Amino acid sequence: MEIKWKEFLLQEFPKGEIIHGKHGKELNIDCISPDCPSPKDHMFVNMGSDNPKHDKRFICHRCGVSGNHKAFLTIYYALPYDEVVKKISQLLVKLP
């Protein structure tokens, strides 16, 4: 199953703030790392960019965790990436 990145972010993090950055829209959310000392509003996730260097990348400006969308999903769900892909429809939070 293909994961539609922007839609996934907006569904899973409805309280996130959309920021217009230099490399496309970013979503400002609480850090997803369980080790972050101060997760409130310190993570920025690129929602999609024409520049492959920035496309679907994330970084927490507090703890420094960063990576691409695969790393994000692995941290968020605490599962290997291939398991996330297999189970994504079951893992997604269903909003009313």
Element (DSSP H or E) covering residue 90:
helix 81-91
Residue ranges and CATH numbers for the domains of the chain are 5-29+39-88 (3.90.580.10)
Banded pLDDT at 1 (limits 50, 70, 90): low
pTM: 0.88
* pLDDT tens column, 19-62: 998 888 999 999 999 999 999 999 999 999 999 999 999 999 99
Alpha-carbon distance 13 to 31, whole Å?
Answer: 11
Mean pLDDT of the chain: 91
Question: In this predicted model, what pLDDT tens digit does every residue of 64-86 receive, in sequence order?
Answer: 999 999 999 999 999 999 999 88
DSSP-derived secondary structure for the chain: ----HHHHHHHH-TTPEEEEETTEEEEEE----TT-S--TT-EEEE---SSTTTTT-EEETTT--EE-HHHHHHHHHTS-HHHHHHHHHHHSPPP-
